[in-house]
Amino acid sequence: MSGPLISIEGIARRYGGPAIFEDLWLGIDRGEFVCVIGHSGCGKTTVLNILAGLDKPSDGVVVVDGKAIDGPALDRAVIFQGHALFPWLTVLGNVAYAVGARHPDWSRAKIRAHALDYIRLVGLTGAEGKRPSELSGGMKQRVGIARALSLEPKMLLMDEPFSALDALTRGTLQDEVRRLCHGTGQTVFMITHDVDEAIYLADRIVLMTNGPGALIAETVVNPLPRDRDRLNVHRHPDYYALRNHLIDFLVTRSRSFKDEIAGLAWDRRHPPAVRPSATPFVHP
């Protein structure tokens, strides 16, 4: 199939006053893992909600697989920041609820078996009869991941899924997400505050400037090999070039970017793609 799986085409969002962002364009290819980095208030959660169909853009459209989206759909699964499990259902109940919604024609036994498969995939076998209140934060988020993946969605949307977890648990879950998403060619759109998380997980990192009037400053192509490893990722020659580039952006450029492009003919449809490297990069 030609063209990107998801195409964000000129979307804007206004709440009365000035636009949080406007005329935003971005394409995401099938199987790509995209992270969005930006400060609070740049509208990245709004972009995600629009992709999920939970919010509507004031202008523009989002096209998924050739069709403009109109509201939430089962082919776009969301992993929420606060896990959002139903506390009155067990782990199995929560995952099976999603599976049942996806496949209304399946028998109870088939739904159960499918849900158990995904509970095993996130390493929670044995805990399927527990309630969310009996689980640790990391385990709850694993259930959230199992619930989203059990839908076998075209696209996975994650809104800072690990920000409420401690560092150790976060690391383990990042490994899990890498394993699960890269292994199956899952297309992922993820919001994060964490530069290292983006470096470890993303194929491409989208940098958003501060709002209001936020825009995509550039998309950074991750120069690290796709089969990177958490323990050795910082030894890669391009690692620091990438990390410094991202941090420079967050610290200074996200604020001053509008001055940076003042007077230039800025093409919002095609923000520059940058590939930070230890050796100076020469455009072909």
**Of 83-122, which residues contact another protein (CB under 8 A)?**
84, 86-88, 97-98, 101-102
Q: Which of 12, 61, 63, 73 lies at the binding interface for another protein (CB under 8 A)?
A: 73
CB nearer another protein, residue 25 or residue 80: 80
Part in contact with another protein (CB under 8 A); list of ranges 48-56, 190-198, 212-220, 223-231: 48-56
Three-state secondary structure of 172-185? HHHHHHHHHHHHHC
| 137 sits near another protein (criterion: CB under 8 A) | no
Binding another protein by CB under 8 A: which of 20, 26, 42, 78? 78
Q: Which of residues 53-72 bind another protein (CB under 8 A)?
A: 53-54, 71-72
Long-range contacts, 100-103 (Cβ 8 Å, 24+) = 101/74, 102/74, 102/150, 102/151, 102/152
Side chain identity, residue 216: I
Query: Applying CB under 8 A, does 164 fall inside the site for another protein?
Result: no
Please tell me whether residue 130 binds another protein under the rule CB under 8 A: no
Q: Is 169 left (phi over 0), alpha (psi -120 to 50) or beta?
A: alpha
> Quick one: which segment of 14-22, 129-137, 161-169, 267-275 binds another protein (CB under 8 A)?
129-137
Q: Could you tell me if 97 and 89 are in contact, meaning their C-beta atoms sit under 8 angstroms apart?
A: yes
Q: Secondary structure of 1-46 in the HEC alphabet?
A: CCCCCEEEEEEEEECCCCEEEEEEEEEECCCCEEEEECCCCCCHHH
Contact positions vs another protein (CB under 8 A): 52-54, 71-74, 76-78, 80, 82, 84, 86-88, 97-98, 101-102, 131-133, 151
